[in-house]
Structure 1
């Protein structure tokens, strides 16, 4: 059964509160969007995800013009650029979560595969995580950088800024954002050690059995 707009407003509010309460989006950082058939729902600018009122969530038309609710996040263009390359996806979650942002601050990594294959869940829920070059928050060039990688990556790190994730549903996007943070935490924790990584054969087995990188036709992971 498809969710109504009111259902989605409540879902955005509930997930926002959960992310805030667990320290994944401090202060007024982070934003959430859901693409509708005729427009968008978007968290407002300068809002705290921990106390969203469903009625205040921005309602935008397909071009991003405000129809009702409060003024949308200034990073709406990031969400629009992401989903323009991913017609199968409907929701975007952008956070400033600690460990994912820490990885986004590291230099010398493969910009198309920022995290090693530590757990099966990082393969099933994330796929390869890309990194975009740094631009200041609100800079339109961030949207241009996202557009270059979004077709092949549904989880992206904005350099020195934070993670942004797209998925077919808001629930899936939140789960992927949480998995990205946990994988980044494991990576940072193990950086000075020699972790055992999944082998190419083990990764291939997971890809054959489960959804990776937001593939809507693959089996779900759990």
Structure 2
């Protein structure tokens, strides 16, 4: 577990991670948002309308644990999602939400299992993500999603928002970003393999690799 006691270092880490995700095509335009939970319980988030490719340390927002704006630029309109994850996952110290292309594509498919959208095609997906529930569509920024997200986050550190994109919590920002990338790559594999007979991990194999709860 990483406890972020140095706000300046946490700001630098958020910007560094944002740049990495953006330059490698995991997010685009002004989509996606990142946060970390500081040791005093406040949240440091990317601001609304910002691009992860250009956001600066001074631009970041700070809110209280419930997502109420304290200082900095206005926080992402999805700050309530981050707050919901932190509220029910005491070991989580970072949340990543992206609109990554392949995961977003899967979120638009009809007929997927809402209890577990992606099969465990690889060991690393089973280790870093595990089960991935699909939450029903809500417009971006619709706080009506908050109670459902909170209930689901009690037992899942990653969710997929219908017609939107994934949200992943982790014990550190590096861990959350790694799990997000694994989720995106597995979504890509899933789409590439549609129409083919696949051989995912068995339930026992996947359970043996299930990630610890942050």
TM-score (norm 2): 0.93
Say how many residue pairs are matched: 211
Following the alignment from structure 2 to structure 1, what is the Cα–Cα distance between the partners of residues 174 and 148?
Answer: 25
Please report how far the alpha carbon of residue 66 of structure 1 lies from its aligned counterpart in structure 2 after TM superposition. 2.8
Map 1:162-181 to 2 at 5 A: 162-181=165-184
Please report how far the alpha carbon of residue 198 of structure 1 lies from its aligned counterpart in structure 2 after TM superposition. 1.3
Map 1:96-135 to 2 at 5 A: 96-135=99-138
Is 1:161 the counterpart of 2:159 in the alignment?
no
SS at match of 1:101: helix
SS at match of 2:53: helix
Following the alignment from structure 1 to structure 2, what is the Cα–Cα distance between the partners of residues 65 and 137?
Answer: 18
Q: Deviations over 1:8-36 (max 9, x none)?
A: 10010011011111111110000011112
Structure 2 residue corresponding to 1:79, chosen from 82, 86, 90? 82
Find the counterpart in structure 2 of residue 220 from structure 1: none
Following the alignment from structure 1 to structure 2, what is the Cα–Cα distance between the partners of residues 84 and 130?
Answer: 19
Structure 2 residue corresponding to 1:45, chosen from 48, 73, 77? 48
Following the alignment from structure 1 to structure 2, what is the Cα–Cα distance between the partners of residues 67 and 133?
Answer: 30
Please report how far the alpha carbon of residue 2 of structure 1 lies from its aligned counterpart in structure 2 after TM superposition. 5.2
Please report how far the alpha carbon of residue 74 of structure 1 lies from its aligned counterpart in structure 2 after TM superposition. 0.9
Please, which moves more after superposition, 78-87 or 160-169? Answer: 78-87
- Pair 1:48–1:193, CA change in 2 (3 A): same
Please report how far the alpha carbon of residue 141 of structure 1 lies from its aligned counterpart in structure 2 after TM superposition. 1.4
Following the alignment from structure 2 to structure 1, what is the Cα–Cα distance between the partners of residues 45 and 193?
Answer: 36
SS at match of 2:118: coil
RCO higher in structure (CA 8 A, sep ≥6): 2
CA-atom RMSD in angstroms: 1.5
- Pair 1:204–1:76, CA change in 2 (3 A): closer
- Pair 1:63–1:83, CA change in 2 (3 A): closer
Find the counterpart in structure 2 of residue 215 from structure 1: 213
The answer to whether the Cα contact below 8 Å between 1:82 and 1:143 also exists between their aligned partners in 2 is no
Find the counterpart in structure 2 of residue 54 from structure 1: 57
The answer to whether the Cα contact below 8 Å between 1:114 and 1:129 also exists between their aligned partners in 2 is yes
Following the alignment from structure 2 to structure 1, what is the Cα–Cα distance between the partners of residues 147 and 213?
Answer: 23
Find the counterpart in structure 2 of residue 30 from structure 1: 32
- Pair 1:63–1:202, CA change in 2 (3 A): closer
TM-score (norm 1): 0.90
Following the alignment from structure 2 to structure 1, what is the Cα–Cα distance between the partners of residues 12 and 126?
Answer: 30
Please report how far the alpha carbon of residue 162 of structure 1 lies from its aligned counterpart in structure 2 after TM superposition. 0.5
SS at match of 1:149: helix
Give the gaps of 5 or more residues in structure 1: 217-222
